[in-house]
């Protein structure tokens, strides 16, 4: 692992995984899921957003790092999007993704949802589950 160190400061990791974790830590709330792709902000340009696809057929990012490296190596945007996906859920009511802290599980079967389905609390109230 490459390490960068300045006099008087702790070493800073420069591995792709650490940079992806740092991107998620700094901009995780800005990473959105929209129409089947994750929109991940650039670390270096505040106006750029990269489309990341995470799926059964593999991962893809439109950044130059992903283009020039082996897809198996991924990129920082794929790492950040994977972390965001792991900390969110898909609402069975509206189909959008939300942070896990907004998750409410259906307690018993009803006409619309099954027991254990995950809903955002707003959708649960709108459908009469809560």
Instruction: State the pLDDT at residue 9.
Output: 45
| Distances, alpha carbon 93 to alpha carbons 32, 34, 85, 99, 100, in Å | 18, 16, 18, 15, 15
Instruction: State the pLDDT at residue 46.
Output: 78
d(CA 111, CA 32): 30
d(CA 81, CA 60): 11
Instruction: State the pLDDT at residue 15.
Output: 87
Among 102, 101, 98, 119, which Cα is nearest to 33's? 98
d(CA 36, CA 55): 9
What parts of the chain have a pLDDT lower than 50?
A: 1-6, 8-13
Instruction: State the pLDDT at residue 6.
Output: 47
Instruction: State the pLDDT at residue 85.
Output: 94
pLDDT digits 0-9 by tens, 6-15: 454 444 446 8
Report yes or no: 51 and 94 within 8 Å, Cβ to Cβ: no
Instruction: State the pLDDT at residue 1.
Output: 44
d(CA 107, CA 130): 9
Provide the 3-class DSSP secondary structure of residue 15: coil
């Amino acid at each position: 692992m490459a390490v960068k160190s300045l006099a008087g400061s702790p070493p800073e990791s420069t591995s792709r995984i650490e940079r992806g974790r740092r991107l998620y830590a700094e901009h995780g709330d800005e990473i959105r899921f929209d129409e089947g792709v994750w929109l991940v902000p650039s670390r270096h340009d505040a106006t750029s957003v990269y489309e990341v696809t995470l799926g059964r057929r593999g991962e893809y990012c439109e950044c130059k790092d992903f283009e020039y490296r082996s897809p198996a190596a991924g990129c920082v945007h794929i790492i950040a999007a994977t972390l965001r996906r792991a900390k969110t859920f898909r609402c069975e009511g509206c189909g959008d993704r939300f942070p896990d802290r907004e998750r409410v599980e259906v307690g018993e079967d009803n006409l619309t949802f099954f027991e254990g389905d995950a809903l955002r609390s707003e959708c649960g109230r709108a459908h009469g589950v809560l």
